[in-house]
Amino acid sequence: MTKVNSLTVKRRRTMIQSARQVGMRWAFSFGAALMLLGAGSAQAVPAYARQTGQNCVACHVSFPELTPYGRWFKLSGYTIGQRQTLPVAMMAQLGRSQIKNNDDGTGSNTLVTARDQMAALNGASLFLAGKVNDNIGGFVQWTYSQNYNTDGTSSGHSGIDNTDLRIVGRMTSEDANEVKLLYGLTVHNNPTVQDVWNSTPAFGFPFTASPTAVLPTAGTVIEGGLAQQGAGVGIYGFYDKTWYAELSNYRTADGAFSVLRAGQDINTPGGVARLNGNNPYIRLAYNREWGANSLMLGAFGMRVDRYVDNTDTSSGTDRFTDQGVDAQYQYIGNPHTFTTQLRYIHETQDYRSSFAQGATSNASDSLNSLQFKATYYYEHQYGITLSHFSTSGSADPLLYPAAAVTGSALGRPDSSGNILELDYLPMQNMRLMLQYTAYDKFNGGSGVGYDGTTLRRPSDNNTLFLNLWVSF
Amino acid sequence: MSQNFMGSGSGRALASVLLLSCLAAWAQDKPADQAAADQAAQKVAASICSSCHGPTGASVSPLFPRLAGQQEQYLVAQLKAFKGKTRSEKDAHDYMWGMATLLEDSVIEGLARYYAAQKPAPGIPGDPALMARGKLLFEKGDPERQVTACSACHGEAAEGNSIFPRLAGQHAPYVVRQLDVIQRKFRESPIMHGVIRELNPAEMKAVAEYVQSR
């Protein structure tokens, strides 16, 4: 059986969160999905579509990537349209993954994942989503997920997923012909889940990933490291559809805010992160729309003081400082749509407590993360996406130790690779996708034995993922 | 024989006064109602419609038609067609059905007045050769193929008239898409079905390029 250390577990969860962030975590059988296929789009529209009466394409290039109108809808606190009596929606995914080499190389015929080449049910989400009145709206996502263990067993779990609640206000121009300033307050539980551009982590690419794939160990805190783990309160303003500014603060979701991490594991070391005090996040973006084009250039930053042991506040904290720049360009036409996003994050890791406790090799490390993706859609139905990702940073053998499959021979976090994804949307609320992830570097190594224990190569972790994703 | 109240001179005078008073009150109420509808319409236009159609209806995206300066009667007819789901091409279904359903008829009329009163956005010049070809079709049509000149209904300057929409300054890709869905009868338009039956895609593009430049 593959050994999985707690950091790996954490990282796996972190990476998988990009899937959870969009509500994926699945749960319906193929039979149910096929029934949905026959159900027709009239019965299969999510809560916001029912609220606005509009189809998915009004807000999404393909879900969850937002169009300019989708961004406006979100910043307006999800309040456009008519309040629904039953503002609920559901989402489910069912997939099948195939890893290039499923033998972990330890010589004991142990599989990397026992769920390889089999249908995997990863969870299902229930959304409570919509407007309360013209100034208040939001969504709460509750997800049931299935966790697959390397020994072939699995266990179900349910808990809160992405959540974003808003109160908004509008200032119109002197002639009352347009909203000059759209501003609001947001309460949420995942840094950047409140952002409206898909270059930030929460709703960034990949929008969903294989639930059983082997993922690189290292990732910055802002890239899912606090998803569904903290309580965020922020204020924002969008002026003249040009300038966006936001200031948010994150704290441990305790007391009245504990609902924002309901169902998450707070009692096990390595579980939900515990934060110390206030953890600020700032975001600035320049936005421009012309013709069928839109462009965003932005920057964001966050500082996090996280307890070494989430179950013990006497364990001391480490400080993570993330600084990011991002950009997005979209051409949304008919029948051609092209979009691209770029994100770069530099993280400074101040292990002020972990180092003293002998858990890291250095008092401070750094980590850099690069994400790029480009997508083309024909008639909002047939899509192809190419993505490149790269992580690099300081060597730290204690932080990145050797271990079969998930370890590092060099004690380094460096990983890189590419993703090719093909999408087909037979209906706007249904996506059939084929995603291939290929690694050229994994946990610091680019050749044989990158994990420091076996003869495994980075490409052995290449994963083919076939996925059906529906919302209704 | 007793005298009929209405038959008496004083009675007629009184009735006339009452009637005039009612008419005066009605005449005062109507502008008040209209003013309220116009105010509601402007709020809807600024906070919702402008998300796609731009402030004052001067949209930048060719996905969404420019509404500034559009004909009032045409706008009322289209919004009511969206609301009644009788205009049912894909874009109408995807974007406008839901939005129009939320509008009361008085607000629809207010929106139509609002957009009709806005200053049209300037035309966008395109390819000169294409515009020249489009100009010919727009002004002369092609009588041999029973293609009527567009200007006959849409006006010499493509400014529109009543239920015939303003085309001047409209996004060319939008015009092409409408000609296409009308020709294929995804969008009902009895007059246009006959007029553009013989129009080919290149001609649609040419005439759209021309009207966009106006």
Interface of B with A in 162-181 (CB under 8 A): 173, 177
CB count in 10 Å sphere of residue A428: 22
Q: Which amino acid is at A340?
A: T
The β-bridge partners of A190 are none
Residues of B in contact with A69 (CB under 8 A): 51-52
Report how far residue A427's alpha carbon sits from residue A449's, in angstroms, rounded to the nearest whole number: 44
Q: Which amino acid is at B132?
A: A
Nearest chain A Cα distance for residue B24, angstroms: 31
Q: Please tell me the predicted confidence (pLDDT) of residue B4.
A: 45
CB contact under 8 A, A53 and B97: yes
Tell me the two tokens of residue A422: 């093909």
The continuous run of DSSP H or E covering A388 comes out as: strand A382-393
Diameter of chain A measured on Cα atoms = 75
The interface predicted TM-score of the complex, written ipTM, equals 0.82
The continuous run of DSSP H or E covering A290 comes out as: strand A279-290
DSSP string covering A251-269, please?
A: EE--GGGGGGGTTS--SST
CB contact under 8 A, B99 and A53: yes
Determine contact: A334 vs chain B, CB below 8 A: yes
CB contact under 8 A, A54 and B50: no
Determine contact: A172 vs chain B, CB below 8 A: yes
- Nearest Cα to Cα of residue B79 among B90, B89, B92: B92
Q: Please tell me the predicted confidence (pLDDT) of residue A41.
A: 33
Report how far residue A343's alpha carbon sits from residue A199's, in angstroms, rounded to the nearest whole number: 6
Determine contact: A183 vs chain B, CB below 8 A: no
> Contact at 8 Å (CB) between B67 and B165?
no
DSSP one-letter code for A70: H
The continuous run of DSSP H or E covering A337 comes out as: strand A336-350
CB count in 10 Å sphere of residue A42: 6
- Nearest Cα to Cα of residue A22 among A250, A195, A204: A204
Nearest chain B Cα distance for residue A179, angstroms: 6
DSSP one-letter code for A222: I
Residues of B in contact with A55 (CB under 8 A): 93-95
Give the Cα-Cα-Cα angle B197, B159, B184 (nearest 5 degrees): 20
How many beta-carbon contacts under 8 Å exist across A and B?
70
Report how far residue A76's alpha carbon sits from residue A80's, in angstroms, rounded to the nearest whole number: 7
Cα A162 to its chain centre, rounded Å, is 10
Report how far residue A399's alpha carbon sits from residue A11's, in angstroms, rounded to the nearest whole number: 12
Report how far residue A267's alpha carbon sits from residue A271's, in angstroms, rounded to the nearest whole number: 7
CB count in 10 Å sphere of residue B23: 10
Pick the residue from chain B with its C-alpha nearest to A134: B47
Residues of B in contact with A81 (CB under 8 A): 98, 102
CB contact under 8 A, B55 and A173: yes
Pick the residue from chain A with its C-alpha nearest to B111: A177
CB contact under 8 A, B98 and A81: yes
CB contact under 8 A, A170 and B47: yes
CB contact under 8 A, A177 and B93: no
DSSP string covering A100-141, please?
A: S--B-SSSS--BS-TTTTSEEEEEEEEEEEEEEETTEEEEEE
User: Over the stretch A47-102, which tens digit does the pLDDT of each residue have?
Assistant: 888 898 888 889 999 889 999 999 999 999 999 998 888 899 999 999 999 999 99
C-alpha dihedral sign at B75, B66, B71, B210: negative
Instruction: Estimate the crossing angle of helix B201-213 against helix B128-140, to 10 degrees.
Output: 100
Residues of A in contact with B51 (CB under 8 A): 68-69, 72-73, 80
- Nearest Cα to Cα of residue A194 among A159, A227, A160, A242: A227
Q: Please tell me the predicted confidence (pLDDT) of residue A344.
A: 98
Report how far residue A420's alpha carbon sits from residue A414's, in angstroms, rounded to the nearest whole number: 21
Tell me the two tokens of residue A230: 């903290």
CA distance readout (Å), A166 to A49, A86, A134, A241, A346: 18, 19, 11, 19, 29
Instruction: Spell out the residues 6+ positions from residue A204 whose beta carbon is closer than 8 angstroms to its own.
Output: A18, A198, A341, A343, A371
Q: Please tell me the predicted confidence (pLDDT) of residue A339.
A: 98
Report how far residue A346's alpha carbon sits from residue A178's, in angstroms, rounded to the nearest whole number: 38
Pick the residue from chain A with its C-alpha nearest to B118: A177
Determine contact: A381 vs chain B, CB below 8 A: no
**Residue among B47, B94, B98 minimizing CB distance to A179:** B47
Nearest chain B Cα distance for residue A294, angstroms: 9
Q: Which amino acid is at B191?
A: I
The dihedral region occupied by B17, where left means phi > 0, alpha psi between -120 and 50, and beta the remainder, is alpha
Residues of B in contact with A332 (CB under 8 A): 61, 63
User: Over the stretch A358-373, which tens digit does the pLDDT of each residue have?
Assistant: 999 999 999 999 999 9
Cα A112 to its chain centre, rounded Å, is 24
Question: Which regions of chain A are under pLDDT 70?
Answer: 1-45, 150
Residues of B in contact with A130 (CB under 8 A): none
**Residue among A170, A177, A334 minimizing CB distance to B177:** A334
Interface of A with B in 69-98 (CB under 8 A): 69, 72-73, 76, 80-82
φ, ψ for residue A438, nearest 5 deg: -120, 130
CB contact under 8 A, B94 and A82: no
The HSE-up count of residue A47 (CA atoms within 13 Å, CB side) is 24
Give the SS3 label for residue A24.
coil
Pick the residue from chain B with its C-alpha nearest to A171: B47
Pick the residue from chain B with its C-alpha nearest to A73: B51
**Residue among A54, A73, A81 minimizing CB distance to B94:** A54
> Contact at 8 Å (CB) between A447 and A397?
no
Question: Which regions of chain B are under pLDDT 70?
Answer: 1-30
Report how far residue B70's alpha carbon sits from residue B53's, in angstroms, rounded to the nearest whole number: 12
Nearest chain A Cα distance for residue B4, angstroms: 56
Give the SS3 label for residue B30.
helix
Report how far residue B157's alpha carbon sits from residue B166's, in angstroms, rounded to the nearest whole number: 9
Give this prediction's pTM. 0.87
CB-neighbour burial class of residue A128 (10 A; exposed 0-12, middle 13-18, buried 19+): middle
Q: Which amino acid is at A447?
A: G
CB contact under 8 A, B60 and A290: yes
